[in-house]
Amino acid sequence: MRPLPALDSVAQQHAGKYRDQGLVIIGINEDAAEDDFVEFLKNFPAHFKTIRDTDGSLAREFDVVTMPSSYIFDRDGNVVARHLGFKVRLMDDYEAVIRNALTESDVGTELISATQAHP
């Protein structure tokens, strides 16, 4: 299973399951050209908000070293977990971190998934 379709499936499952507790999922795409970004999402639809990081500033800020990378933030905006790559066998671990982040703080939690840039 390709990473983005798998992440999208996870996002749909978790967003519905934890939306009332404040879970927000945002994808970050590093395509420089908007046409590439639009084409990528046409080929791999994402059912979560996706924004462009055309200059790579978010990737640098969060030290993204592989795609996909996922970051879980607590309600105060602190990174509480970072997952490099995507492994279906770790789904229960990912969900446990999300549940923990949602129960330990008071405002919104975000799972940010950086998606592969395409030339």
Residue with more model confidence, 46 or 109: 46
The 3-class secondary structure across 25-45, one letter per residue, is: EEEEECCCCHHHHHHHHHHCC
The domain of 33 spans: 3-115
Report the distance separating Cα 8 and Cα 105, nearest Å: 25
Mean pLDDT over 7-22 rounds to 79
Taking 80 as the threshold, does the pLDDT of residue 95 lie above it? yes
pTM: 0.70
- On the question of pLDDT at 4 being above 90, the answer is no
Confirm if 73 and 79 have CB atoms less than 8 A apart.
yes
What's the CATH number where 31 sits? 3.40.30.10
pLDDT surpassing 60 at residue 53? yes
- Structurally, the chain folds into a number of domains equal to 1
Closest by CA to 108, choosing from 72, 64, 81, is: 72
Tell whether the torsion through CA atoms of 53, 29, 114 and 76 is positive or negative: positive
- Quote the CA–CA distance of 29 and 50 in Å, as a whole number: 7
- What pLDDT score does 71 carry? 85
